């Protein structure tokens, strides 16, 4: 039996009220200016890997249509930041919104073939949408992670069915900031509706399933109207069976969307429940899953539910600034320096994995790694410790109003880690009035800068999300 | 271990006006400061046997001083030690004289910050790193000490801001009495408290300015000094201490004192034979890059008990008429901080005060004066303390 052994998700803290975009109710989830598909993927992966033995993970598939690099693997950044072992297979699965479900299929096949004990699928998207467009209204940011394995399964993958669809419904060519789309009745009708319907129908036919077999139906959709059209057309009971597609709450999170809906379904599932999962993007992938007794053992996950509850509103103009969609006066602040790629490579265990050290002589934890202990001065007697999952508290902080960052003021914190260690980190996702000495914080992987073609990632502090 | 006490003398000093000197190059500044020093000492530039020049970003190598001054084929060393750069250039010059290697040497500090085209300090332009350390401009670094000081000693934001404002008001007042200062305007506590925020909780008037300037000193042995002038000044103690980033690595560090200051102060006091600094120091010019820094220095250099500096600020103990006037020349607050020059600018003020030549800001009966610099950020400062006295 092969199936899901753990799940995790990430929805950014921030929400934009849809009434600021057009005639609509509800809100959409938007990532901060320092988040992208990679940082959100790391957050979802960390949620999924909590209390798991990372050494069992043999493959990582990073599914996205919005990789920060056109050429250079992004899965490697996710792998190192999520502190996965070096001896793993990594791949980016890209270029269509179906990449999330495609990655599930690839992970399933890898585990089935025995090339990985466990395979981690992380799907994440941060899509740039043109202001006040329908895409902007319907699009949201988020990430989902699923661990696929063959032991301690919480939901078995009982079968899958895929169709391919060669069609220019949505596409981008190199250099495009925004999605191109065909005439929507054609693009959505012959693309999304047809391929997804055919995948679901094929799956049900192959496995002799009837509509009533499914307690939950988690289906990708580019907008709520097409979602309703599809599930109604297939004959599912919208109230009883269909998983809320999160429009008005998050929006379509593209490659991550159907995975997030699956996770939301798993959060409410009972042993024996059958779940339908379907993704679309130049073809449809459909899966049939069955929940096991072990679903009760999944604890300590933020998943979709807790992330949905943890939110703050951001005004539309600020959101547009975050996306660089408002022209700005060239600032009188010095440009950010290009990081040294050799230094970044050399320091990746500290910078990306956020490893500090524990002195084997005096046991004190330090960050970054100190070859000579700051306390007892022992030389080269340390072991690495992962600090990215530690809780921290503000020892002191300041808020710089002239440093010229996108989030004025720039808040920098000196934090003390639970269990020892202190360091200085920028703070993000913060509400100025709530910051105080002693405030509990956690770490979040963020993009510090992007200059010279280098996306420079590091950890920042954030108020505890849940 | 023999200290520096009474082994070297200053026989001449020079200091440019500090400010936004758009029409002056670093070369102009060095020439102006050094020629004032040469003339003050009555020394011919040809008689300078060795020189030390301090600058953090306005030039490199000893040649940066040789070329404008036309010092020909003598040993010159460029010194960099953050905000203590000039004091360290001076210190190295003193040691060379004390060691008997040279008789007459020059120490010069210079910085030209206003050519960068940006406000604030440029940071480490040349150092190549992974650039993941949070951007940490000085106001932000010292603001973290203010946040912690308020928290640690239970001061409300309003109480803390008012104490810091008093320090700014004092230094601005002193600056009005000094023609070489950049800012020469009285300010009020209300102005300081309500000024725009720079790095919370530090506002505009809690921060020193950014300026251009240069200062220089001629150093010789006391037995030769009287050939130059009768009112030469003696070096009594020199202490420098560097931190190893303890404040940000060790979660036991309190952030309300800077151990580098304490250590540099102890080194200098020991050399100078000073046991009760609060009583024995007559005036001091310290590194008030931010008002909170000056307050912490009061405690670190043993003038106020820990946590009690606010009481001394309230009572006016550090004002021009107080028990220990601090920053009699207006401090960094009024001079701005051309990094490589500030240490020698401070020594210039103590030199003038000890000679009784400080004009309207002259403090009565100054026998012992102290300068102090602090460069870097909490946990890895370079701190420098220098003590000077009159000849007996």
- What share of chain A in percent tops pLDDT 70? 99
Q: Are B372 and B391 in contact (CB under 8 A)?
A: no
| Tokens (6 digits) for B205 | 């008037």
- CB-CB contact of A216 with A222 (8 Å): no
What is the structure's pLDDT at A403? Answer: 79
The DSSP H or E segment spanning B95 is: helix B85-98
**Which of A322, A355, A377 lies at the terminal end of a domain, its last residue?**
A322
Tens of pLDDT, residue by residue over A58-102, are 999 999 999 999 999 999 999 999 999 999 999 999 999 999 999
What's the gap in Å between the CA of B148 and the closest CA on chain A?
Answer: 6
B83 is catalytic: yes
Mutate to test the interface with A, among B57, B119, B128, B135 (most CBs of A within 10 A): B135
Residues of B in contact with A417 (CB under 8 A): 251
B34, B83, B289, B334: the active-site residue:
B83
Chain A: closest CA distance from residue B121 (Å): 10
Q: Terminal CA-to-CA distance of chain A, rounded, Å?
A: 34
Q: Report the residue of chain B nearest A341, measured CA to CA.
A: B130
Residue among B382, B129, B82, B132 nearest A367 (CA): B132
Do B134 and A414 make contact, defined as CB atoms within 8 angstroms? no
CA distance A139 to A253: 6
A241 near B CB under 8 A: no
Structural domain tally of chain A?
A: 2
Strands of A40-185 (E only): list them.
57-64, 89-94, 118-125, 142-149, 155-164, 170-171, 180-181
Euclidean distance between CA atoms B154 and A415, whole angstroms: 20
Q: Has residue A402 got a pLDDT over 80? A: yes
Same domain, A217 and A355: no
Q: Which pLDDT does position A60 carry in this prediction?
A: 98
State which residue of chain B sits closest to A344, comparing Cα positions.
B130
* Residues A72, A73, A78, A79, CA torsion sign: negative
Does residue A30 surpass a pLDDT of 80? yes
Same domain, A306 and A345: no
- Say which DSSP state B206 is in: G
Cα–Cα distance measured from residue A393 to residue A414, given in angstroms and rounded to the nearest whole number: 8
The pairing of beta strand A27-30 with beta strand A14-17: antiparallel
Chain A residue whose CA is closest to B143: A398
| Chain A neighbors of B249, CB-CB under 8 A | 366-367, 370, 374, 422-423
Residue B370 φ then ψ, to 5°: -130, 140
Phi, psi of B105 (to 5 degrees): -130, 165
Chain A partners within 8 Å of B122 (Cβ)? 334
Which helix (H) or strand (E) segment holds residue A455: the answer is strand A454-463
Backbone angles phi, psi at A13, to 5 degrees: -65, -30
How far apart CA A368 and CA A347 sit, in angstroms, is 9
Rounded (to 5) percent helix, strand, coil in chain A: 25, 30, 40
Distance from CA of A181 to the nearest CA of B (A): 39
Nearest partner of B75 among B108, B105, B54, judged by Cα? B105
- CATH architecture assigned to B138-209+236-390: 3-Layer(aba) Sandwich (3.40)
> Which tens digits make up the pLDDT trace of A350-386?
999 999 999 999 999 999 999 999 999 999 999 999 9
Contact B381, B265 (CB under 8 A): no
How far apart, in whole angstroms, are the C-alpha atoms of residue B387 and residue B94?
Answer: 13
CA dihedral A93, A96, A98, A103 (to 10 degrees): 0
In which element (H, E) is residue A166 found?
none
Q: Which domain holds residue A201?
A: 3-322
Query: DSSP assignment of A282-314, as one string?
Result: SEEEEEEEEE-GGGGG--S--TTHHHHHS-EE-
CB contact under 8 A, A334 and B122: yes
What count of CB pairs under 8 Å joins A to B? 128
Residue ranges of A 424-443 with Cβ closer than 8 A to chain B? 424-426, 437
Taking CB atoms and an 8 Å limit, are B248 and A424 in contact across chains?
Answer: yes
- Inter-chain touch B202–A398, beta carbons under 8 Å: yes
How, if at all, do strands A216-219 and A274-280 pair?
parallel
Q: What is the pLDDT of residues A284-337, one digit of tens each?
A: 999 999 999 999 999 899 999 999 999 999 999 999 999 999 988 776 677 788
Cβ contact, residue pair B123, A334, below 8 Å? yes
- The reply to whether A392 falls in a domain is yes
Same structural domain for residues A315 and A446?
A: no
What is the reported pLDDT for B93?
Answer: 98
In the prediction, which pLDDT does B116 show?
A: 82
Which residues in chain A are contacts of B200 at CB distance < 8 A?
398-401, 409
Cβ distance B142 to B296 under 8 Å?
no
Cα-only R_g, chain B: 19
Q: Are residues A317 and A416 in the same domain?
A: no
**Residues of chain B below pLDDT 50:** none
Containing A450, the helix (H) or strand (E) segment is strand A440-451
Residue B125: the pLDDT is 66
Q: Let me know whether A80 and A174 are in one domain.
A: yes
- Residue A145 and residue A210 in one domain: yes
CA B290 to chain centre: 13
- A336 in a domain, yes or no? no
Give pLDDT tens digits for A145-182.
999 999 999 999 999 999 999 999 999 999 999 999 99
User: Residue B340 phi/psi, 5° resolution?
Assistant: -75, -5
φ/ψ of residue A217, rounded to 5: -125, 110
Residues in chain A closer than 8 A to B196 (CB atoms): 401
Helices (H) and strands (E) in chain B, counts: 14, 11
- Residue spans per domain, chain B: 9-116+212-234, 138-209+236-390
| Peptide bond before residue B201 is cis, with ω within 30 degrees of 0 | yes
pLDDT tens digits along A2-25: 999 999 999 999 999 999 999 999
CB spacing of B135 vs A347 below 8 angstroms: no
How far A379 CA lies from chain B's nearest CA (Å)?
A: 15
Cα first-last separation, chain B: 24
Evaluate whether A394 touches A438 at the Cβ level (below 8 Å): yes
**Burial status of residue B49 (CB atoms within 10 A of its CB: 0-12, 13-18, 19 or more):** middle
**In this structure, is residue A316 part of a structural domain?**
yes
Range list of β-strands (E), chain B: 9-15, 50-54, 76-79, 104-112, 197-200, 202-203, 212-220, 233-242, 283-285, 368-375, 382-390
DSSP state for residue A269 in the 8-state scheme: -
Mean pLDDT to the nearest integer, A40-66:
97
* CATH number of domain containing A17: 3.40.47.10
Helix (H) or strand (E) holding A393: strand A392-400
Cross-chain Cβ contact A410/B132 below 8 Å = no
- Judging contacts by C-beta atoms under 8 Å, the chain A residues touching residue B143 are 398-400
Q: How far apart are CA B198 and CA B204, in angstroms?
A: 6
Residue A143 shares a structural domain with residue A33: yes
- Would residue A239 count as lying in a domain? yes
What is residue B132's predicted lDDT score, i.e. its pLDDT? 87
Closest partner CB to B248 (pick from A397, A409, A422)? A422
Q: What is the dihedral of CA A242, A246, A252, A258, to 10 degrees?
A: -40
Contact A332 B130 (CB under 8 A): no
CA dist B248 and A81 (Å) reads 23
Measured between beta carbons, the chain B residues lying within 8 angstroms of A437 are 147-148, 151
Q: How many angstroms separate the most distant Cα atoms in chain A?
A: 71
Q: Based on the domain organization, do A32 and A66 belong to the same domain?
A: yes
DSSP SS3 for B226: helix
Chain B residues whose CB is inside 8 A of the A416 CB are 251
In terms of Cα–Cα distance, which of A445, A301, A449 is closest to A12? A445
What are the structure tokens assigned to A62, written together? Answer: 């990073």
Residues A280 and A368 both lie in one domain: no
3-state secondary structure of B220: strand
Asked whether residue A332 is domain-assigned, the answer is no
pLDDT at residue A119 in the model: 98
What are the φ and ψ backbone dihedral angles of A163, each rounded to 5 degrees?
-130, 150
Fold that domain B9-116+212-234 belongs to in CATH: Peroxisomal Thiolase; Chain A, domain 1 (3.40.47)
Q: Do B118 and A333 lie within an 8 Å CB cutoff?
A: yes
Q: Determine, for residues B135 and A396 on separate chains, whether the beta-carbon distance falls below 8 Å.
A: no
Do A410 and B123 make contact, defined as CB atoms within 8 angstroms? no
B372 is catalytic: no
Q: How far apart are CA B224 and CA B318, in angstroms?
A: 36
- Domain for residue A158, yes or no? yes
Pair (A84, A176) in one structural domain: yes
In sequence order, what are the residues at sequence separation of 6 or more whose Cβ sits closer than 8 angstroms to the Cβ of residue B312? B298, B303, B304, B318
Geometric angle at alpha carbon B87, from B86 and B90, rounded to 5° = 85
Residue pair B212/B21 in contact (Cβ under 8 Å)? The answer is: yes
Identify the closest residue of chain B to A425 by CA–CA distance.
Answer: B134
Nearest Cα neighbor of B211 from B15, B17, B14, B18 is B18
How close, in Å, is residue A366 to chain B by CA atoms?
6
SS3 A355: strand
Q: With contacts defined as CB-CB under 8 Å, which chain B residues touch A344?
A: 130, 132
Find, among A455, A435, A465, the residue nearest to A352 by Cα: A455
DSSP strand pairing (A57-64 vs A89-94): parallel
Q: How many residues does chain A have?
A: 466
Does residue A368 share a domain with residue A304?
no
CA R_g for chain A: 22
Pick from B137, B147, B151: CB nearest A403: B137
Nearest to B137 among A374, A400, A425 (CB): A400
Q: Does the distance separating the beta carbons of A412 and B140 come in below 8 Å?
A: yes
**Closest residue of chain B to A456, computed from CA coordinates:** B132
User: For residue A34, how many C-alpha atoms fall within 13 Å in the half-sphere facing its CB?
Assistant: 23
Residues B370 and B350: their CA atoms lie apart, in Å, by 7
Do residues A276 and A352 share a domain?
A: no
């Amino acid at each position: 039996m092969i199936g899901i052994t753990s799940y995790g998700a990430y929805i950014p803290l921030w929400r934009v009220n849809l009434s600021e975009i057009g005639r609509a109710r509800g809100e959409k989830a938007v990532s901060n200016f320092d988040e992208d598909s990679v940082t959100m993927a790391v957050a979802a992966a960390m949620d999924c890997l909590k209390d798991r033995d990372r050494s069992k993970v043999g493959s990582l598939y990073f599914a996205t249509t919005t990789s920060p690099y056109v050429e250079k693997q992004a899965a490697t950044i996710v792998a190192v930041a999520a502190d996965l072992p070096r001896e793993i297979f990594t791949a980016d699965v890209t270029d269509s919104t179906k990449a999330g479900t495609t990655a599930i299929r690839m992970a399933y096949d890898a585990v089935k073939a025995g090339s990985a004990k466990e395979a981690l699928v992380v799907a994440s998207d941060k899509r740039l949408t043109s202001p006040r467009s329908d895409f902007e209204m319907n699009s949201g940011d988020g990430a989902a992670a699923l661990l696929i394995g063959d032991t301690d399964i919480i939901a078995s993958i009982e079968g899958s069915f895929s169709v391919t669809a060669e069609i220019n419904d949505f596409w981008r060519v190199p250099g495009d900031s925004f999605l191109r789309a065909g005439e929507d009745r054609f693009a959505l009708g012959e693309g999304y509706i047809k391929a997804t319907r055919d995948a679901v129908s094929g799956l049900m036919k192959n496995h002799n399933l009837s509509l009533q077999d499914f307690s939950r139906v988690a289906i990708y959709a580019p907008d709520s109207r097409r979602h309703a059209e599809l599930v109604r057309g297939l004959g599912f009971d919208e109230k009883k069976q269909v998983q809320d597609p999160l429009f008005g709450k998050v929006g379509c999170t593209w490659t991550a969307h159907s995975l997030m809906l699956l996770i939301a379904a798993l959060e409410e599932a009972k042993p024996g429940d059958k779940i339908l999962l379907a993704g679309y993007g130049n073809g449809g992938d459909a899966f049939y899953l069955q929940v096991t007794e072990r679903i009760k053992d999944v604890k300590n996950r933020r998943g979709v539910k807790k992330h949905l509850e943890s939110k703050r509103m951001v005004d539309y103009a600020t959101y547009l600034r975050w996306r660089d969609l408002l022209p700005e006066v060239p600032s009188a602040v010095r440009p950010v320096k290009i990081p040294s790629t050799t230094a970044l490579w050399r320091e990746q265990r500290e910078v990306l994995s956020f490893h500090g050290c524990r002195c084997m002589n005096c046991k004190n934890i330090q960050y970054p790694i100190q070859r000579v202990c700051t306390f007892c001065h022992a030389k080269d007697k340390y072991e690495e410790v992962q600090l990215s999952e530690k809780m921290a508290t503000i020892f002191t902080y300041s808020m710089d109003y002239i440093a010229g960052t996108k989030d004025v003021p720039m808040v920098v914190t000196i934090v003390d880690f639970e269990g020892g260690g202190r360091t200085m980190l920028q703070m993000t996702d913060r509400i100025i009035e709530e910051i105080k000495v002693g405030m509990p914080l956690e770490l979040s992987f963020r993009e510090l800068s992007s200059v010279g073609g280098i996306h420079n990632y590091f950890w920042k502090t954030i108020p505890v999300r849940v | 271990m023999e200290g520096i006490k009474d082994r070297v003398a200053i026989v001449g000093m020079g200091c440019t006006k500090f400010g936004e000197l758009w029409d002056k190059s670093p070369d102009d500044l060095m020439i102006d400061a050094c020629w004032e020093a040469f003339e003050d000492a009555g020394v011919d530039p040809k008689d300078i046997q060795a020189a030390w020049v301090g600058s953090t970003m306005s030039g490199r190598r000893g040649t940066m001083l040789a070329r404008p001054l036309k010092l020909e084929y003598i040993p010159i060393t460029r010194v960099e030690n953050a905000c203590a750069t000039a004091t360290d250039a001076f210190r190295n010059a003193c040691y060379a004289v004390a060691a008997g290697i040279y008789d007459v040497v020059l120490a010069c500090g210079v910085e030209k910050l206003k050519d960068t085209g940006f406000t604030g300090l440029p940071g480490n332009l040349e150092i190549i790193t992974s650039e993941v350390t949070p951007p940490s401009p000085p106001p932000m670094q010292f603001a973290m000490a203010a946040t912690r000081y308020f928290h640690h000693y239970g001061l409300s934001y309003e109480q803390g801001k008012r104490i810091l404002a008093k320090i700014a008001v004092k230094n601005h007042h002193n600056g009005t009495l000094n023609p070489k200062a950049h800012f020469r305007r009285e300010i009020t506590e209300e102005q300081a408290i309500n000024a725009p925020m720079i790095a919370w909780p530090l506002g505009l008037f809690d921060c020193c300015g950014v300026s251009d300037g240069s200062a220089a000193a001629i150093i010789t042995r006391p037995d030769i000094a009287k050939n130059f002038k009768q009112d030469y000044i003696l070096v009594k103690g020199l202490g420098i201490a560097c931190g190893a980033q303890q404040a940000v690595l060790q979660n036991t560090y309190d952030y309300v004192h800077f151990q580098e200051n304490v250590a540099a102060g102890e080194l200098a006091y020991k050399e100078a034979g000073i046991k009760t600094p609060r009583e024995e120091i007559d005036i001091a010019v310290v590194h008030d890059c931010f008002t909170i820094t000056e307050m912490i220095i009061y405690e670190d250099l043993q003038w106020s008990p820990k946590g009690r500096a606010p009481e001394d600020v309230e009572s006016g103990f550090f004002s021009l008429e107080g028990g220990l006037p601090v920053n009699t020349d207006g401090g960094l607050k009024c001079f701005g901080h051309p990094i490589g020059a500030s240490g020698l600018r401070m020594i210039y003020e103590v030199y003038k005060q000890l000679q009784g030549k400080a004009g309207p800001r002259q403090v009565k009966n100054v026998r012992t004066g102290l300068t102090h610099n602090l460069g870097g950020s909490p946990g890895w400062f370079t701190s420098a303390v220098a003590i000077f006295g009159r000849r007996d």
